[in-house]
Amino acid sequence: MKAVLFLTVVLSGVLAVTAVPVEAVEPVQGTQELKEENQVVENEAGVLVPQEEPEMLSAGEALSVEGRFFDCPAGWIRYKSSCYLYVSAGRSWTSAAANCNSLGATLASVHDLFDYSFLQQLTSRGGGTLAWMGGLYFQGWRWVDQSPFNYNFWSAQHTVSRYQCIHLNTRVGWSNNNCGNGWPSICVKNTDTC
């Protein structure tokens, strides 16, 4: 254990040293020609960027590196590295899962308290108190996105012979209930499918 801790400290130090910004960078061969052809320009930080980029930004607006590569579709909310959609239409769990699938998504899974709190807030903002998530009982509790069922936040757990689908509650933890209930749902797309 001490060896792992030591290696972690050493690796953190190495990463901190290598993360120091470089003061001056020699231009890459060919960049002068691109500048002359007005294909690239230097921004305030001296970084070469495509000519089109400044036109995409409004005056004084800076776009984060993450935002350049990953935007959620209209109506979807970004959280961590995924896009989430609260679907207010009441559907059975199976119909909700099929609806998410038709959108290139799955019902949402939860892996820590922060995930669950985010989903509760998303549901509240959508005007609901209950929403289907991607948990179901099939020879044990599972998430439909195949991620590990490694976090539990049960407020109540009913018999699985009758109640095999998981829903969230904005006031407490999740619970299992009758899959035929018509409730809102939460879909999630991973960044590679957004």
Q: What would the mean pLDDT of 29-49 be, rounded to a whole number?
A: 49
Q: What is the percent of the chain where pLDDT is above 90?
A: 60
For residues 181 and 70, is the Cβ–Cβ distance under 8 A?
Answer: no
CA angle centred on 118, ends 117 and 124, rounded to 5°: 90
pLDDT of amino acid 15: 46
Domains of the chain and any CATH numbers: 2-63 (no CATH), 77-193 (3.10.100.10)
DSSP the chain: -HHHHHHHHHHHHHHHHHTSPPS--PPPTTHHHHHHTTSEEE-TTS-EEETHHHHHSPTT----HHHHH--PPTT-EEETTEEEEEEEEEE-HHHHHHHHHHTT-EE----SHHHHHHHHHHHHHTT-SEEEEEEEESSSEEETT--------EEE---TTT--EEEEESSS-EEEE-TT--EEEEEEEEGGG-
pLDDT of amino acid 108: 98
Q: Lowest-pLDDT range, 56-60, 74-78, 158-162, 169-173? A: 56-60
Residue-wise pLDDT for 134-155, tens only, equals 999 999 999 999 999 999 999 9
Residue 62 has pLDDT above 90, yes or no: no
pLDDT of amino acid 43: 52
pLDDT of amino acid 191: 72
The band of 160, judged by pLDDT with boundaries at 50, 70 and 90, is: very high
Best CA proximity match to 126, nearest among 73, 74, 77: 77
Residue-wise pLDDT for 72-129, tens only, equals 999 999 999 999 999 999 999 999 999 999 999 999 999 999 999 999 999 999 999 9
Residue 44 has pLDDT above 80, yes or no: no
Cα distance between residue 82 and residue 71, in whole Å: 9
Residue 159 has pLDDT above 90, yes or no: yes
**pTM check: above 0.75:** no
